[in-house]
Amino acid sequence: MKQSIATIALVIAEYEEAVAFYRDAVGFTLIEDTPLAPGKRWVVLAPPGGDGARLLLAKADGPDQQAVIGKQAGGRVMLFLQTDDFDRDHARMQANGVHFLEEPRREAYGTVAVFVDLYGNRWDLIEPQR
């Protein structure tokens, strides 16, 4: 049996601002944007060249979902964006307005820095040690 996590849902406030952030600032590729019911879309993005999980942008529906925007992981790093060139991607993301919470760190497992998305979700940008 072969299984994998194909898609991860991220609760967002608005589609257009989230697509712009992940596509233009982070550098993801827009894979699909399909209208569903009124006010709902199936919006999937993925890192370029990646074969891992994709990100489904899920617009909050109601106060309970709106309350978790930016807090889905309780303030912890929620997602890990792995790269083959930390310095390149860190510089590009900073130039595109992505806010990093710390300076890059060289750890035994690789180079890493925490950044936040437009809602405050924490991500690691990480280049594993070779």
Instruction: Please state, in angstroms and rounded to a whole number, the distance separating the CA atoms of residues 125 and 111.
Output: 8
In this structure, the strands spanning 29-35 and 99-100 are unpaired
pLDDT digits (tens, 9 = 90+) for 57-115: 999 999 999 999 999 999 999 999 999 999 999 999 999 999 999 999 999 999 999 99
Structure confidence at residue 65 (pLDDT): 96
Structure confidence at residue 75 (pLDDT): 92
β-strand partners of 59:
12
Is the pLDDT score of 30 beyond 90? yes
In this structure, are residues 125 and 102 in contact, taking their beta carbons and an 8 Å threshold?
A: no
The pLDDT confidence band at residue 51, using thresholds 50, 70 and 90, is confident
Could you tell me the pTM of the whole model?
Answer: 0.93
